[in-house]
Amino acid sequence: MIIHTHISYGYVTLLDTFFKANDLTVTCTEDAPDIHNRTHTVLQYEDNSDTAYSITLMSYRHLGFENMLCDYLIRCGVHPSKISIGKIEIKRDMAELDRQWEEHRKLIGLAR
């Protein structure tokens, strides 16, 4: 089963923790970026498995699988308006940022 969610891929570590705690074998992958360069989570698990049956029962209790995951994220402290936007780790080169700052300082007249 493949489920395309609206949950940001930035929360994949929290989702993995949820799946491990509930003994669910779910693979989280990243969807293609949307027009705002945000990526969402794609969940995949085997049909007719213990995971599928557990997810079905949990989904019934929580009025849907994605709703259950959103409730979990909210309990983890994620603001509901940030679930689809989320956060993405951006690897930044600090030397490059310093160089850009120095150029900007010269441009605005702060450098000597």
Cα(80)–Cα(88) distance, integer angstroms: 16
Across the beta sheet with 40-44, what order do the strands follow?
2-8, 40-44, 27-30
pLDDT of 50-101, one tens digit each? 999 999 999 998 899 999 999 999 999 888 888 988 765 556 788 988 999 8
pLDDT at residue 44 in the model: 95
* Residue appearing with tokens 């983890």: 76
Whether the pTM exceeds 0.85: the reply is no
> What's the CA gap between 102 and 111, in Å, rounded?
8
